Amino acid sequence: EAMLALEGVSKTYNKGRENEVRVLDEAALQVRAGEMVALVAPSGAGKSTLLHIAGLLDTPDSGTVRIGGTDYTGLSDRRRTVARRQEVGFVYQFHHLLPEFTALENIVLPQLANGIARAEAQTRAADLLARVGIGARADHRPSAMSGGEQQRVAFCRALANAPRLLLADEPTGNLDPATSDQVFGALMTLVRETGLSALIATHNLDLAARMDRVVRLDQGQVVAG
């Protein structure tokens, strides 16, 4: 069974208007347990739309989305929100860390929101930071950290609630090439060590080549890269 399975997923924006755009057209994609898949496509091809639908942030016009074997099509917003918190971790191009909180606290907070006790959440946060090589930065606020460090914290936050699926949209897109390479290496290690499944959108073909498989978006469909 695939960890993520999209079948016949279609999405049109501005339906019926002159600026109607069919972004996804019967798209299908499977990501197996523990598999890291790169999603490569030019800007505007629909990567964010696909990731948002895969992560239950958005609903397709038609088609099914299954995560861990559960079909989320047609479930209430509430059930989808609960599932998203538990099953899916998101990373974006910009870290979106809370500026008034330390690195550790930024990883603790989503766990508290998920009902985890503070002590346990702190232990897990410290462990995650150590695993991406910035244990010593736990008490720093984002503004006191480099871009690469901030993004490592964002990876840890995405994994805070031990999701089974990681979705990332240009996770190292705002870093210089050398930093991007290192930070991506840290993400890969974390994904491999936790056995996560990951779908990672990137323009960087070198990074894409380091993953298990590459797919592209072409005319609204997912095709082999």
**Residues of the shown chain interacting with ligand ADP in the complex, contacts defined by CB under 6 A:** 13-14, 21, 23, 41, 43-49, 169
User: Toward ligand ADP, which CB reaches closer, 149 or 169?
Assistant: 169
Nearest to 185 by CA among 175, 50, 89, 94: 175
Distance in angstroms (rounded) separating the CA atoms of residues 118 and 35: 31
Cβ contacts of residue 102 below 8 Å, gap of 6+?
138, 139, 140, 141
The residue (of 40 and 125) whose beta carbon lies closer to ligand ADP is: 40
CB of 45 to ligand ADP, least distance (A): 4
Query: Considering the complex, what minimum distance in angstroms separates the CB of residue 180 from ligand ADP?
Result: 16
Shortest distance, CB of residue 122 to ligand ADP, whole angstroms? 32
To ligand ADP, the closest distance from the beta carbon of 93 in angstroms equals 7
Q: What is the DSSP letter of 216?
A: E
Q: Mark out the alpha helices in 77-117 (DSSP H runs).
A: 77-87, 103-113
Minimum distance between the CB of residue 167 and ligand ADP, rounded to whole angstroms?
12
Compare residues 8 and 44 and give the one whose CB is closer to ligand ADP: 44
> Closest separation between CB of residue 17 and ligand ADP, Å?
10
**3-state SS class at 136:** helix
Q: Which is nearer to ligand ADP, 27 or 129 (CB)?
A: 27
Inter-CA distances, 59 with 3, 33, 36, 131, 163, Å: 18, 23, 23, 34, 20
43 vs 143 by CB, closer to ligand ADP: 43
**Is the Cβ–Cβ distance between 14 and 169 less than 8 Å?**
no
Nearer to ligand ADP, 27 or 159 (CB): 27
Residues whose CB falls within 8 Å of the CB of residue 154, separated by 6 or more in sequence, listed in order: 91, 92, 95, 96, 97, 171
